[in-house]
A and B are shown apart, each in its own frame.
Chain A
């Protein structure tokens, strides 16, 4: 058991290494990708600044608090991208018929597919989010102790929640052969929604992102504890549950993916 786990990790590292070198083949695209993302996020931050310049605060959230909220989401999205962003291209593999190769190798196809790309483009996300969290931390005069554990939990839980949704969306391609659109219809609006405090949205939306697609656990709920804000609807300790919620949500999405794989094995397209 332990031995096969170690073997798995060694193999994963080999493939990660190869994948990084493959991405470095296109140097210009590699650099532009990273800079592009970092600048896109900085742009959103500027929008927030403009917004708050006129209004002062958004539902009790001042500028640096909003930046923190935003940067926390970008940080866990970055981690998630590294491991799971490749799932967005699953439908391409299915359409081209190249997915079959994962089924003729002595490795679990989920693991093999995931290891095919270790997306270093996420450096752009890190570049922005680490700087933004750092600036927010000092501007808000935060002094965390145990809160660091909550923060880490939020990053891990947040990447599992977002990664889980990527995996689940990709699995739809096992039935329909196409899933790229769903990404834009589900994932993208959800991510944008979470850039602002949940309290400004209607009740229905709040319930959706807490109980069904638990994106509230990516940044809003953890931020309530970390910034010592008293949530009007949710007790602050909810935010500490991110890793647990992330684990459960990811597992469900993984099961859904396996269901799709079974379907693929019976239809082959």
Chain B
């Protein structure tokens, strides 16, 4: 049996429709129309013990909502969740003992107290035995360098220090599963690297199952073998990261700003994926054409004002998979050529 099992999970929210203008605002005091927004739609997956899974998607895709249901904060509208056999929203407190949670942007530590005090309080809250606490503190201090700020109040920590303290705090009670919601958001390159190393180590040495959400693709690349892609509340892809990388790695996007009237724009060897006035986004594959060939071809027909080349962004990959499905991509990796 898998450690985490999610099947046909739905979460719907009722959102009050905003009425226009003053009259509308007054009317909404008495009567409101509601829209139903489906944040998570028929999501199913299973995670085995010791896995490290990236839960990826653009903002508002339903990542956090899923995490909140797995941790027992939110009750699903329908569907089933089992976390190590427990139903999180029914046995929330029991479930809390076996999971660790880090919300990247919000600390779980006591704001006005020195870091060490928060740890001691959490030791009480989770009833961590003395020897486990001592052992864990020794290990975490060593890897995360907690000693330099253990006696500093949380409010005076830098973001990087605070994240280190937060992740250590979430692991004090030896959880089976660690949920990380945007663990590297806002961190500088060094701090990110340090955080990733620690996560890798926790996963490898202690066998902690890690589920992390992020919209930083490099987090996933460094950490996870498996990725679950989600958009509009639906699972778009669930599988090896390597496969995705292979598919999209050879692709890049050329953004050109053109001068004058462009009319209907098309270029052989590249696929127009977006346009805003005279700015065009062209996706092209290294296997079909090189960047310089492409630029030459454009320059023959149009006057180029400016250009940039970008690796395919996660949003673009998701969009593509969302529109056409991963299967269509595998069978026809060449850009459309009208």
Contact = CB atoms under 8 A, between A and B. Distances in A.
Interface string B61-75: 000010010011111
Contacts, number: 76
A22 B113 contact: yes
A106 B96 contact: yes
A266 B117 CA distance: 33
A97 B103 CA distance: 10
24 contacts: A7-B127, A11-B124, A15-B121, A18-B113, A22-B113, A23-B112, A97-B103, A97-B105, A97-B106, A101-B103, A101-B106, A101-B108, A103-B71, A103-B96, A104-B72, A104-B73, A105-B125, A106-B96, A112-B125, A265-B74, A266-B75, A267-B13, A267-B14, A268-B68
A96 B106 contact: yes
A264 B233 CA distance: 20
B74 A268 contact: yes
Contacts of A57: none
Contacts of A267: 13-14
Contacts of B74: 265-266, 268
Interface residues of A, number: 27
Contacts of A107: 93, 125
Interface in B227-259: none
B135 to A, nearest CB: 20
B113 A21 contact: yes
Contacts of B120: 14, 18
Contacts of B108: 101, 104
A100 B97 contact: no
B215 interface: no
B208 interface: no
Contact of A25 (B75, B103, B121, B153): B153
A140 interface: no
Chain B interface residue number, banded: 20 to 34
A106 B94 contact: yes
B303 to A, nearest CB: 49
Contact of B126 (A26, A103, A106, A265): A106
Nearest to B74: A268
A213 B8 CA distance: 46
Can you list the 4 inter-chain pairs with the closest CB atoms, starting with the nearest?
A: A22-B112, A106-B96, A106-B93, A103-B73
A14 B72 contact: no
Contact of A104 (B65, B71, B110): B71
Nearest to B112: A22
A100 B93 contact: no
A9 B109 CA distance: 21
B124 A10 contact: yes
B92 interface: yes
B99 A104 contact: yes
Contacts of A265: 73-75, 89
Which among B93, B111, B153 has the highest number of chain A CB atoms within 10 Å?
B93
A42 B295 CA distance: 81
B163 to A, nearest CB: 15
A174 B96 CA distance: 22
Contacts of B97: 106
B9 interface: no
A104 B106 CA distance: 13
Nearest to A112: B125
A98 interface: yes
B211 to A, nearest CB: 14
A106 B71 CA distance: 12
A100 B226 CA distance: 27
Given A18-B121, A100-B103, A100-B106, 19 more contacts: A11-B124, A14-B124, A15-B124, A21-B117, A22-B110, A22-B112, A97-B103, A100-B68, A101-B106, A104-B72, A104-B73, A104-B108, A105-B125, A105-B126, A106-B127, A265-B74, A266-B75, A267-B14, A268-B13
B106 A268 contact: no
Interface string A69-102: 0000000000000000000000000001110110
Which among B75, B99, B120, B153 has the highest number of chain A CB atoms within 10 Å?
B75
B125 A268 contact: no
Contacts of A268: 13, 65, 68, 73-74
A217 to B, nearest CB: 34
A104 B117 CA distance: 19
A259 to B, nearest CB: 14
A105 to B, nearest CB: 5
